[in-house]
Amino acid sequence: MQFKPGDKVRFLNETGQGSFVRLTGKGMALVEMEDGFEVPFPVSELVPVREHERSAIRVEEPKAEYHQAVTSAVVPLNPEFPDGVYLVFDPQNQKMPSAGAIDVYVLNRSNYHIFFTVSLKDGKEWICIQSGVLGPGRKADVDTMTPADIDEWQQAKTDILFYSDEPFTHIAPLSNVIRLRGVKFMKDSSYQTHLLTDRKCYIAEVALMDNAVTPEDDKPFITNEELRKMMELKDRVSTAKKISVPHQKNQVMEKEVDLHIEELLDNWNGMSNAQLLDVQLKRVQQEMDAAIAAHMRKVVFIHGVGNGRLKSEVRRLLSTYKNVRIHDASFARYGVGATEAELL
């Protein structure tokens, strides 16, 4: 059940009604009663008073304005900054960003219309907190949260469908998951003045248009020369004399590596998509070399779903290693967003 702040709700197992305030995590929500007090209730026990109040939020704008490449409200300072869709965490207190509320919104800096949903992880389930239709160059508010609120939610998922009223190049729908670590939002250093907004904010990339998967885009990021050098290096590692090491009872035989850029860098403002991908691939190489040296059995690389570019480049790099079997990681644990490298 999806509710918005201010929705009138009644209680399934009790008499009375109130106004929905916000989700608090673990299947609970705050409801403001008629006396002004906020009381926690299970979301499953809330029933909307008026059905139409639960409809998905649509951005109100004249249809003709949809065809403007960028609206005046969100014109980026740097026209060379990659076009894409971003999830923006914009602190209301710009002098002390971590000290106050944070406005969260979806920014569509592309020439496509998008249908989007934003969901938060609550245990094993996802709860949709906002959805709607967003035109090119527009933004849509998602929620206003504090760092403490963010810390209660472990992950945020943004699903996007691209379309246009005019003939357009197909872009596959995508689903992007980011980890929400409250400690990061409690540090002023995590917020940088960004080229997209001219404000101190934290920006998570959902989709980059120059990295979109299309039939014409089959050029590998790694050149043949770079691939040859990597293979030579892996041959030296694979053919090096193996040193027998005694078995250790508590030896770590496998590890998990999260390749989401927010887990690798504290600040990536101004970096191009190619530079970000290079950082991720270098981490793959470092982790694989370390795993081979430590005689591990397997390494799981979490790359997410996205448009599939990172996954294909990770597997291309892993294929240059000898005695390594590559396959999908556990679906029950990672869905389709991880690759397992088994060291033989």
User: Which pLDDT does position 181 carry in this prediction?
Assistant: 73
pTM over 0.85: no
Asked if 33 contacts 18 with a C-beta cutoff of 8 angstroms, the reply is yes
User: Which pLDDT does position 300 carry in this prediction?
Assistant: 92
User: Which pLDDT does position 81 carry in this prediction?
Assistant: 64
Structure tokens at 193: 């003045």
User: Which pLDDT does position 233 carry in this prediction?
Assistant: 62
* Bridging pattern class, strands 298-302 and 254-258: parallel
User: Which pLDDT does position 341 carry in this prediction?
Assistant: 92
Class of domain 224-343: alpha beta
Q: Which CATH superfamily is domain 63-211 in?
A: Smr-associated-like (2.60.40.1600)
Q: How many angstroms separate the CA atoms of 135 and 115, rounded? A: 9
Q: How many angstroms separate the CA atoms of 85 and 260, rounded? A: 16
Q: Is 293 helix (H, G, I), strand (E, B) or coil?
A: helix
Closest listed residue to residue 185, CA positions, set 207, 158, 153, 157: 153
Q: Is 280 helix (H, G, I), strand (E, B) or coil?
A: helix
User: Which pLDDT does position 225 carry in this prediction?
Assistant: 62
CA dihedral 219, 225, 230, 235 (to 10 degrees): 130
pLDDT in tens, the chain (344 residues): 577 888 888 877 777 788 888 887 777 888 888 767 777 888 888 888 755 444 443 444 444 333 333 333 554 445 556 788 888 888 988 888 888 888 888 988 888 899 999 988 777 788 888 888 888 888 888 888 888 777 777 788 899 999 988 888 888 888 888 877 767 777 877 787 776 677 888 888 888 776 554 444 444 455 566 666 666 665 555 454 444 444 444 455 788 898 888 888 877 777 777 888 888 999 999 899 888 888 888 999 988 877 678 888 899 889 888 889 999 888 777 777 889 999 88
